[in-house]
Amino acid sequence: MSRIVVVALFVTFACAACGSYDTGSGEDNPSEHACLDVIDAFARTAQRCGGDYATEHDRLVQRDAKGDCKNVRSIRDENALRSTCIPFVKSQSCHDFAAGVLDPTCAEQLQRSL
């Protein structure tokens, strides 16, 4: 294998680790983790319904966390988020997902500092 191919493969794998999926702060921040979990749930549902996971993930981080889940300082009701909202999103039909149908427990959950 040529040196150029080896370098290209290394860069590809190294950059996979520096994508937008890890917005971690290095600290144990429960609000940041909840943000990542809810964004992942929405992005995975979008993917299941024919969308692109990475595109949807990045769009949601920009829209709901102002570019980084570190900006989320609190969760309005984490119990409802984890026990009702996330399971609802993961199991809803693609038709309802595309129509923007949400369980009320999903509303205004991510409280940002910005």
Write the pLDDT tens digit of every residue in 33-74: 999 999 999 999 999 999 999 999 999 999 999 999 999 999
Quick one: DSSP state of residue 103? Answer: -
* Ramachandran bin of 100, using left for φ above 0, alpha for ψ from -120 to 50, beta for the remaining angles: left
Q: Please state the pTM of the whole predicted model.
A: 0.74
Q: Average pLDDT of the chain?
A: 82
pLDDT of residue 103: 97
Residue 101 has pLDDT above 80, yes or no: yes
The residue-averaged pLDDT of 82-104 equals 97
At residue 6, the pLDDT reads 33
